[in-house]
Amino acid sequence: MIGIMSAMQEEIQALLNHLEHTEEYTKGKRTYYKGTLFGKEAVLVFSRWGKVASATTATQLINDFDVNELIFTGVAGGIHPDMNIGDIVIGKQLVQHDMNASPLYGLFEIPLLHKTFFDTHPEKREQLTNACQQFIDTYTNVISEKEARSLDIMNPKVVIGDIASGDQFISKASQVQFITTHLESVVCAEMEGAAVAQVCYEYEVPFSIIRIISDKANSEAPIDFPLFVTQIASKYAFEIFKNYLQ
């Protein structure tokens, strides 16, 4: 069974609308939706924002539903200058940019695990990349020209790159500079992925992550963020998972 997580229900609402034979389970103020998605057994849940919320949800998901794969999907702020609104990032390695237990441990190192970066599953990463590229090649069939233009989406691309997570909304130049100075390989930043990656590492569950760039991690936010999440990110997720699961 595949587990699918997001920080906001709007990011996976299109998938929830398509879930068949749905059963709902509520625990820890989360609702887990179990059913059939594009012919595959799946359980969907939104974790809420932040590392604690997402780690708690991932742990519950793994323990209660015995998932053999977990994928996180949602939006992120672009860190690398080549990242543009509407681009898709398939995570390669994830790191917590706000972890600092020095001088006992190195900067960003997770205490006791002796790890700084958590890898996603190579084979599933490649399969997700193909599914994303298949969508991007025909995205104009799903995202109207008017929608794309209103949110500054132009010629979106798929990138495999490292992702930084932390309990901060990245909107200041000083925050971006800290990440780019210390974590040169990072292409985008968000608030959940590395925490879920750590849980999956400890439970030995294959983990993947898809992030859609909604802004450039600065003061220049999208014209309408709620619209981007509900109309763009949700459509992206639906088409990507349709390609991936079928």
* Domain ranges within the chain, ordered by starting residue: 2-233
Find out whether the peptide bond into 81 is cis, omega within 30 degrees of 0. Answer: no
For residue 6, which of 36, 41, 42, 40 has the smallest C-alpha distance? 42
Are the CB atoms for 27 and 64 separated by under 8 Å?
A: yes
Share of the chain above pLDDT 90, in %: 80
Give the C-alpha separation, 126 to 220, whole Å: 32
pLDDT, residue 226, reads: 78
Q: Is 216 within 8 Å of 85 (Cβ atoms)?
A: yes
pLDDT in tens, 1-49: 999 999 988 888 999 999 999 999 999 999 999 999 999 999 999 999 9
The whole-number pLDDT of residue 223 equals 55
Work out the mean pLDDT of the chain and round it to a whole number.
93
Q: Which of 215, 180, 219 is nearest to 75 (CA)?
A: 215
User: For domain 2-233, is the CATH number 2.40.128.260?
Assistant: no
Residue 240 confidence class, pLDDT cut points 50, 70, 90:
very high
The two three-digit tokens of residue 125, written as one number: 């990463």
Give catalytic residue positions. 11, 215
pLDDT given at position 218: 65
Q: What is the pTM of this model?
A: 0.94
Query: What pLDDT, on a 0 to 100 scale, did the predictor assign at position 55?
Result: 98
Q: What is the pLDDT of residues 56-71, one digit of tens each?
A: 999 999 999 999 999 9
CA angle 205–159–131, rounded 5-degree value: 65
Contact 214, 222 (CB under 8 A): yes
